[in-house]
Structure 1
């Protein structure tokens, strides 16, 4: 059972119906701005991680994990609804999809993200995971709000050709082929979602297009990270938190 405590925050696996309901409520608040439940059929197939503020007794972050034995099971993933992922079917090691990652909109402490990644690192090490992937979301559906961020992704962080997802969703923004601007690096970093920024710092990569998700009111890019590609210094920092 995964448990991790650092300072005022503690991460653990959801164990009860009440835990799952709390996660679904936080997801609705974070993604939809509504005090209701965000649930889908994938919830039953996933393990759910909760990060709680132990002083306030508040759930401040959650995400779910779908474990796949290898790339041949990639079509079972949530991401496969939106991206054509047949290239990844050749990946021969254990994979985990991290989904519905969110932080409570009233909490801004960067330690929350550190504890969440520490919990993820502990899970990856325990389960021998070789690739972490998922959809990294930008708030809103107006691509022009993120042109600098997308230009930076195009220039520095596109997926290797052997793993590159292809277009499947009916509504996408093909930033790799459409954008001609050079990115303003400061503006790009300011607009990059914290989760995606962390993926990229660890050597992660993205699809060459963003999906326009009108249901959740987001733009998202497929994001992958081969664990062996994580820089040693970054891996040590994550394991220090995980330990």
Structure 2
């Protein structure tokens, strides 16, 4: 696929809570992001890697890459891809794992969020908060109606996540009109997961932080997880209709970048 002829005007960088959030400015920035992705996804699978090894694919040149730094150290990265509509989104990365025909008639522009990863030891609510602040600014820059992507569970064994999958199936499945289908990749149906949830806290504890953030804003998921041996993950399709985000939460997210920039 090709990039839209008029890409979005990128939101300005901002600093907050010891973090600086900005878009990659050159090839060196993008390489740093790809190195962190390799560390988080490929190296985590125990595969031998050469120093400076990078995770890169054909979609990278089409995406806008976000870097979150603390004292000059890259602690988080992800990429964003804008689409004019659901039909256009069928040519992107996520469409290689899921059948997105159900989204063909979804109204309005969309943004695909991918390759989200946090450096070892960098987890925390403050980090996620500033990352989401930049996502909100980007979504607003194209007046997007839907944010979507793949939310990853570490490793390719579904056994440790049975309770989480049951929780997703019981409370967070996509609305039927927007429920994506299976692609060509091997998948695990939530109906085939472990016993029903008896401990909500335990189940929620199995859900990765990024996906928990989606869910607290009204996000929804596919009815299956894809087994991705290349990236050493199990992932679920995740969608978030911007209009469904609770107003107070939306205001708080938009204020992160706005207030930091004003300061």
What TM-score do the two structures reach when normalised by structure 2? 0.88
Q: Which residue does 1:182 correspond to in 2? A: 196
Q: After the TM superposition, which residues 24-103 of structure 1 pair with which residues of structure 2 at under 5 Å, given as runs?
A: 24-33=34-43, 34=49, 35=51, 36-53=53-70, 55=71, 57-103=72-118
Pair 1:233 & 2:243 matched = no
Q: After the TM superposition, which residues 1-243 of structure 1 pair with which residues of structure 2 at under 5 Å, given as runs?
A: 1-2=10-11, 3-33=13-43, 34=49, 35=51, 36-53=53-70, 55=71, 57-175=72-190, 177-179=191-193, 181-183=195-197, 184-243=199-258
| Distance change >3 Å, CA 230–CA 196, structure 1 → 2 | same
Give the whole-Å Cα distance in 1 for the aligned partners of 2:194 and 2:205. Answer: 20
SS of equivalent residue, structure 2 residue 59? helix
Give the whole-Å Cα distance in 2 for the aligned partners of 1:145 and 1:14. Answer: 35
Tell me the number of residue pairs that the alignment of Structure 1 and Structure 2 aligns: 240
Deviations 1:71-124 (A, max 9, x none): 110211101001011010011200000000011112133211111000111111
Q: Comparing 29-38 with 200-209, which one deviates more in the overlay?
A: 29-38
The gaps in structure 2 that reach 5 residues or longer are: 1-9, 44-48, 259-263
Give the whole-Å Cα distance in 1 for the aligned partners of 2:245 and 2:257. Answer: 15
Q: Comparing 35-44 with 193-202, which one deviates more in the overlay?
A: 35-44
Give the whole-Å Cα distance in 2 for the aligned partners of 1:181 and 1:90. Answer: 36
Give the whole-Å Cα distance in 2 for the aligned partners of 1:199 and 1:238. Answer: 13
CA contact (8 A) 1:169 1:211 kept: no
Q: Deviation of residue 240 (structure 1)?
A: 2.2
Give the whole-Å Cα distance in 1 for the aligned partners of 2:167 and 2:57. Answer: 32
Give the whole-Å Cα distance in 1 for the aligned partners of 2:192 and 2:124. Answer: 36
- Superposed structure 1 runs of 4+ greater than 4 Å apart: none
Give the whole-Å Cα distance in 2 for the aligned partners of 1:31 and 1:121. Answer: 25
Question: What is the RMSD computed on CA atoms of the aligned residues?
Answer: 1.2
Give the whole-Å Cα distance in 2 for the aligned partners of 1:178 and 1:106. Answer: 33
SS of equivalent residue, structure 1 residue 90? coil
Give the whole-Å Cα distance in 2 for the aligned partners of 1:180 and 1:7. Answer: 40
